[in-house]
Amino acid sequence: MEQIIPKELIEKYLQGKCSPEEEQKLQSWYNSFEDEPDPMAQLSEEAQNLLKERMLIAIKERVVNGSDFESVIIKKLMAYAASIAAILLLVLTMVKYAGMPVKLPAKQASQSLLRIVSNHSVKIKKHVLPDGTTIWLQPASSISYNKQFRGRLREISMKGDAFFDVTRNPERPFVVHTEDIEVKVLGTSFNVKSREGSASSEVSVLTGKVAVARFDEVSQRRESVVLVPAEKAVYTAEAKVIKKEKLEDRSLDMWKKSSLTFDNVPVSRVLNTISERFNISLEVVDPTIRSYSLRADFTDVNLPSILDILGKSLGLTYEVKGDKILLSRNEK
């Protein structure tokens, strides 16, 4: 009789959380069906394409590289075919023998399931997820997530610097994956900095509670800290630990929602007021902008929203330059 492997154990392996004993169990199980017929033959071409898309997402976000067990699996799979096809074969075989159903809607077979949003501009880019969560991406930042955005968790991956205003849903926690850490919330607002090649990652909380965690491959333990407003977590690649600290600066002020009213006020005064309210340096590239006047009512909005409104009403554009913002006329 074929040995049945629990679905939960397979998921633990994909997340890199198996103990040595569990990995040995999976390896023995895999050896037991190595000579089985190719299960890919059971699927249509459309179904195989969809499965490939799903596995690419799973491999990118879940599989922890470098474990001995994974090396054994990959070497065995290389005997079947190319690396991607081999990984698909392994996972499909796992699905078959673990009794996990494979649902492959024909309408979705030709569509890519991975949505990638990148900010290649010099401005802050706003993106709204299917659940209503709003993300502001700083320049040279990106996120990726499953377009269907279903399941028990709302999961995304990110690189760079981004602020999240998460729609509350206690039934579906929101999880952000970076190269080094994982951020989990129910509904809150926070900022994540995790630039590729950086020696550290940082999470700062504006509202609500945030759990920041990482999995230690050496100790096989999960380390985590819980943050509340005005706290931040810092992870350094050298120390490989997460430290919780007080947020001493005002780096999150630009994301606080505020209300401001201007009635035919010179732009020079408008910019001074905005700078003080959001603790940001606003510099004018074209001096003629200061002679403009503004009549506007900003209600319960953050700084990026105000900058967008200024751009549309006064014909301006802006560029994020480190810790300051440069304003100029939009010549387009």
Q: Dump the DSSP string for 175-229.
A: EEE-SS-EEEESS-EEEEEE-TT-SEEEEEEEES-EEEEEEETTTTEEEEEEE-T
Measure the CA angle with vertex 155, ends 72 and 107; round to 5°: 85
Lowest mean pLDDT among 25-29, 48-52, 123-127: 48-52
**Backbone φ, ψ for residue 210 (5° rounding):** -135, 135
Q: What pTM was estimated for this model as a whole?
A: 0.64
Q: What mean pLDDT comes out for the span 50-57? A: 51
Q: Three-state DSSP class for 107?
A: helix
Scanning the structure block, which residue is given the tokens 């199980």?
Answer: 29
Instruction: Return the amino acid letter for 252.
Output: L
Q: Quick one: pLDDT at residue 137?
A: 97
Q: Quick one: pLDDT at residue 142?
A: 96
Q: In whole angstroms, how large is the CA radius of gyration of the chain?
A: 24
For the stretch 170-229, pLDDT in tens is 999 999 999 889 999 988 999 999 988 788 999 999 999 999 998 777 667 788 999 999
Q: Three-state DSSP class for 263?
A: strand
For the stretch 300-331, pLDDT in tens is 999 999 999 999 988 999 999 988 999 998 87
Q: Quick one: pLDDT at residue 319?
A: 93
Residues whose CB is less than 8 angstroms from the CB of residue 227 and which lie 6 or more positions away in sequence, other chains included: 190, 203, 205, 209, 210, 211, 212, 233, 244
90 has pLDDT over 50: no
Measured between alpha carbons, how far is 77 from 142 in angstroms, rounded to an integer? 32
Q: Three-state DSSP class for 150?
A: coil
Token pair, residue 15, equals 């997340």
> How much is the mean pLDDT over the chain?
77
Residues whose CB is less than 8 angstroms from the CB of residue 111 and which lie 6 or more positions away in sequence, other chains included: 147
Q: Quick one: pLDDT at residue 242?
A: 92
For the stretch 25-43, pLDDT in tens is 766 665 554 444 444 444 4
- Domains delineated in the chain: 7-107 (no CATH), 114-246 (2.60.120.1440), 253-329 (3.55.50.30)
How far does CA 35 lie from the centroid of its chain?
39
